[in-house]
Amino acid sequence: MFTTQSSPGSPIIRCGMIGFGMIFDDTYRPVFELRGAEPLYSPATGPVQVRLAAVASRTGVRGARYLTSGYGQRQPFTNYSGSDATRQLLASDIHVVCVATPDDRHFTAARDALIAQKHVLIEKPSVLSLAELDELSRLATANGVLAKVVYHKLADPDHKKLRTLYQDGVLQHVNNGYCSLLEPKSISGGQFAEWITGRNPATYVAVHYLKLIDFTFGPNWALSRISATGQRGLVGPADGPTWDSVQLQVVYLHPDAREAAFDIHTSWVTPNNFPGYVEQEVQFRFDNAVWCAHQRKRGVELTVENRTPGELKNTPNYHYNGTFLEPWGERSQRGYGIEVIERFFQEVANVEFGGPPDTRSERLAQMRALTYNDIMADRNCVAIVQSLEAILCRAVAGAPGCVVKVNTPPGGLVLYEPGNATPFILYEGRV
């Protein structure tokens, strides 16, 4: 599959981006700019370059702007646009596809890329239903490629420490917790305005915390039930399908039959001049401990006349992503948001170049067994997202207060509506 080489012994991973918006600029662009010039390296693979080779988007405007920009390390790529862009991109000479379209357009792009035998990385949330997830898992297996999801919060050093302490038994038996992630009005009113009708902020951002909870405190527990409510009236009409904010509750069952409940609050109507731009906070309570964390308030507080809180943030999170003048004189852009994308390319490099071709399937199996990002390990998150979307949809139709139960006799995901004796099966198989 990987035949293109820049020079003998120095393989290249050629990548196609489907979707070329804000998240490309934040996290993918720095990876391509750095790794085109300075290869990834591991003892097993040797140096491996990563190239942005093709882009597919609706209008092609941002791609064209980037191609003519003054970015130093920018690589040349083919900029496809319009309704046939994805098909053209998949027909070009690429090995890997990154899907960064709006969340309700991930499935078709990822499906077509897997059918074309490309390794795939999908922005969170991977897909919106378990049926779609089943199909992507099947295609990844059938075509012998990786299908992975970006969950950068798992690479945040604070979250790595949280999981380490839990897995080592220092934090014992999680009982409950809350997470909140509040985005500014500019997201709902500007950046996402084109596709926001009928959408909600929870699908888009609660998944960060759903995965954090599921990965950190699992896998020895069972998802039990999901409920949700929210508010409308700012982004769209108060009786319409577009949500301003959502409050989601997820309940798990430990093997000892004690329950754990998590409340996740999300919004995309916070004032634009909120000091940190995005507000993110968690608290988890254990039998013997409490963990409280705040994404922004890690110690830096900055005020610059005429530049904060707009261009520069008052309480910035430089751990996620920041541009730096390194002590040794170089300029860099780094952080866990970038690291997690590089990690995916290392996994691809490991499969393709980490040993002889006849052991490729073993390396593929090892990389697919990584539950932090493999699509097969995304079942609980997708189950919650599918339930959430169904609950909000029923609320719009005049039936608020629904609850979805997981893996009960009627089915894998079963929605119960207040006052209606007949349950609705969202997914028949086991979650």
Q: What is the contact surface with ligand NAD in residues (CB under 6 A)?
A: 18-23, 56-59, 62, 85-86, 100-103, 105, 123-124, 150, 152, 191-192, 204
Phi, psi of 181 (to 5 degrees): -140, 110
User: Between the CA of residue 263 and those of 150, 249, 372, 426, what are the distances in Å?
Assistant: 22, 5, 22, 22
For the bound state, the minimum distance from the C-beta of residue 146 to ligand NAD, rounded and expressed in Å, comes to 18
The two tokens of residue 377 are 């390990």
User: Between the CA of residue 429 and those of 136, 217, 407, what are the distances in Å?
Assistant: 16, 24, 8
Q: Which residues share a beta bridge with 80? A: 56
For the bound state, the minimum distance from the C-beta of residue 230 to ligand NAD, rounded and expressed in Å, comes to 18
Q: Are 269 and 188 in contact (CB under 8 A)?
A: yes
For the bound state, the minimum distance from the C-beta of residue 85 to ligand NAD, rounded and expressed in Å, comes to 6
Q: Which is nearer to ligand NAD, 101 or 224 (CB)?
A: 101
For the bound state, the minimum distance from the C-beta of residue 98 to ligand NAD, rounded and expressed in Å, comes to 10
Q: Which is nearer to ligand NAD, 203 or 224 (CB)?
A: 203
For the bound state, the minimum distance from the C-beta of residue 166 to ligand NAD, rounded and expressed in Å, comes to 23
Distance CA 123, CA 406 (A): 25
For the bound state, the minimum distance from the C-beta of residue 141 to ligand NAD, rounded and expressed in Å, comes to 24
CA 326 to chain centre: 28
Q: Which is nearer to ligand NAD, 204 or 284 (CB)?
A: 204
Residue 247, SS3? strand
Longest dimension (CA), the chain: 69
Measured from each CB, the residue nearest to ligand NAD is 21
**Residue 293 CB contacts under 8 Å (≥ 6 apart), including other chains:** 158, 162, 281, 282, 283
For the bound state, the minimum distance from the C-beta of residue 109 to ligand NAD, rounded and expressed in Å, comes to 6
Residue 72, SS3? coil
User: Between the CA of residue 249 and those of 171, 232, 342, 387, what are the distances in Å?
Assistant: 22, 18, 33, 11
DSSP 374: B
Q: Which is nearer to ligand NAD, 105 or 297 (CB)?
A: 105
Q: Which is nearer to ligand NAD, 210 or 364 (CB)?
A: 210
Q: Which is nearer to ligand NAD, 148 or 363 (CB)?
A: 148
For the bound state, the minimum distance from the C-beta of residue 54 to ligand NAD, rounded and expressed in Å, comes to 12
Q: Which is nearer to ligand NAD, 58 or 319 (CB)?
A: 58
Q: Which is nearer to ligand NAD, 289 or 293 (CB)?
A: 293
Q: Are 87 and 64 in contact (CB under 8 A)?
A: no
Number of helical (H) and strand (E) elements in the chain, helices listed first: 12, 19
Q: Look at the chain and count its residues.
A: 431
